[in-house]
């Protein structure tokens, strides 16, 4: 016999609670530990692309782990990952045809942003 709490998590308003908790917990842990996909990618791409890809890859990894740990979301794991990967296909088009504002800063590592801002002012 299932408890009311178990039913609320499987079929009710708390469905996906474990997913949300794990997903955000992974991102917060990465932020506070300094583990960064952006920093790794900056060695192979320009800073803007590294920030975009780093954020997307971090979210897809967090989504995958969270969906596998949440029994109410486990069956959706493949769809969540594929749905997260598909928008990456439009990045080349956006890079080519969309003008980026000079005032816009891609969120990334705080130290990297500070270095980028300082280097722009010295040039």
Cβ contact 81:60 at 8 Å: yes
Total structural domains within the chain: 1
The domain in which residue 84 lies consists of 4-122
Rounded Cα distance between 29 and 24, Å, is 8
* 51 burial type by CB count under 10 A (0-12 exposed, 13-18 middle, 19+ buried): buried
Q: What is the pTM of this model?
A: 0.63
**Predicted pLDDT of residue 1:** 46
Mark residue 16 as left, alpha or beta (left: phi above 0; alpha: psi -120 to 50; beta: remaining): left
74-to-23, 29, 37, 41 alpha-carbon distances in Å: 13, 22, 25, 29
Using one digit for the tens of pLDDT, what is the confidence trace for 24-39?
898 888 778 777 666 6
């Amino acid at each position: 016999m299932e408890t009311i709490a178990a039913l609320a998590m499987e079929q009710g308003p708390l469905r996906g609670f474990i997913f949300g908790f794990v997903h955000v917990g992974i991102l917060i842990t990465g932020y506070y530990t300094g583990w960064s996909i952006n920093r790794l990618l900056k060695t192979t791409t320009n800073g803007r692309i590294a920030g975009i890809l780093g954020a997307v890859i971090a979210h897809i990894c967090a989504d995958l782990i969270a969906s596998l740990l949440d029994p109410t979301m486990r069956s959706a794991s493949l769809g969540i990952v594929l749905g997260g990967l598909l928008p990456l296909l439009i990045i080349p088009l956006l890079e080519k045809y969309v003008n980026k504002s000079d005032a816009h800063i891609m969120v990334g590592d705080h130290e990297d942003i500070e270095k980028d801002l300082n280097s722009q002012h010295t040039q």
